[in-house]
Each structure stands twice: as structure tokens, then as C-alpha cells.
Amino acid sequence: MKIKILFVIIAASLMFNLSSAAFANLLYNGDFEISGEEGYTTGWTQEYNNNIFGASDNPQNGNHHARNYWDGGMYQNVSITSGIQYRLTGWAYIPSGDGGSPWGSYIGFYWLDEDGYLVMPLGWQADVHYLPREQYNQVDSDFLTAPEGAVTAMVRFGTWSHDPWEPVNPTDFDNFDFSPIPEPSTLLLLGSGLFGLIGLARKKR
């Protein structure tokens, strides 16, 4: 009986670790629920035009989100390994209207080398202003392989505009997740442990 209980506990632990390995979000404060020196956008850096702040007016889920009050962008750099696959998901809410200038909103990421230069292929981007308005829409890069020489992923979101600088506003963003697919060696190790436990349980019978 004790062996069975131990088996169940360890098996559950292995499955939990496998799930965690498969869906480990590399972004800090991807859901904008952590408050710090930069408010609820702590962990993110203003890329241009300081117009994005934490807000609680229109979260996709939870209590807070990032709101772009005019035009501007934010980014967060995360360490990655070339040859491993990564996936970005995120949500954007674009209000109705045409704006007073050429404009657009986006979610995406670049691959960067150790010196901070772009690595080809550049990465991925979704132009979320083309999606249905007045509702949150999720975008998904699917799994993409980090190219040779890439050591960083620069995850980005924002709204841009041109002269006379009048985009549709405000635009809201929430719940970003940038996760790797587990390495085959990790899956093999966890799977071997699980099958080993099964063999041990049968032997004890």
C-alpha cells in the first residue's frame, strides 16, 4: 500500500514537472499583475514614446493590463538557446475608429545575437489592428526555432503612428506568454523516470 501511495506521489510530481517544462513562461510579469518601481508594467522597458502604463480599466483576465494612451512601444528581453523552439502568445484590444494618421498595433519578437544585433530570420509579428475591434483578440506565433547565433528574444508590443501622430487610442495589451518547447533530453529523462516507477511497482507485486 505504501509503495502504491509513493508511486502515485512521484508520478504526479513527474507529470507536474513535465507540464511546467512544457509551459514555462520566460517573461517576467507577462500578465501585468506585479507592481514595482514602474507600476504594473514592471519588468518591461519603454522602447519609444513613454505612453504605456499599467491600468485596471479593461483587463483581458486578472485585475490589470498594459494601456497605450497614444503611440509607443514596450519590450522585454529574455535569454534563449538557438535550436530550441519558442512560442509567443498575447492579447490585444483595439478600439473602433480610423485615427488621424497612418498607424498600427503589433505583438511580436525579434531574435538577437550576443551583441544585440538582429539575427535572421528576424522573428515574428502580428499586426493586431487588422483583427476585430472592440474585443480582445489572442495572437499566437506557434513554435518557431531560434536561429543559430541567437541568444536573446526581444518580445515587443505597442502602437505606432506617423505625422500628424494620431493613432486610434487607447489600445490595451495583456497576458503575454513566451515559452520554450521542452528539449528532447528533458522529456526522455522525465519519461524514463515514470517508466522506471511503473517497473518498480510491478516488481514489488
**pLDDT by residue (tens digit) across 136-176?**
999 999 999 999 999 999 999 999 999 999 999 999 999 99
Q: Is the pLDDT of residue 177 over 90?
A: yes
Query: How far, in Å, CA of 126 to CA of 196, rounded?
Result: 44
Q: pLDDT for 97-122, tens place per residue? A: 999 999 999 999 999 999 999 999 99
Please give the share of the chain, as a percent, with pLDDT higher than 90: 77
Query: How far, in Å, CA of 24 to CA of 42, rounded?
Result: 19
* In-domain check, residue 195: no
Q: How confident is the model at residue 182 (pLDDT cuts 50, 70, 90)?
A: confident
Residue 71 DSSP SS3: coil
pLDDT at 6: 45
Domain that holds residue 59: 25-180
Q: Is the pLDDT of residue 3 over 60?
A: no
CATH number at residue 105: 2.60.120.260
Domains identified in the chain, total number: 1
* In-domain check, residue 186: no
Residue 168 DSSP SS3: coil
* In-domain check, residue 172: yes
- Per-residue pLDDT averaged across 30-53, rounded? 96
pLDDT at 96: 97
* In-domain check, residue 64: yes
Query: How far, in Å, CA of 105 to CA of 147, rounded?
Result: 26
Grid cell for residue 132: 476585430
Q: How confident is the model at residue 19 (pLDDT cuts 50, 70, 90)?
A: very low
- 205 or 65, which is more confident: 65
- Per-residue pLDDT averaged across 184-195, rounded? 49
* In-domain check, residue 194: no
* In-domain check, residue 185: no
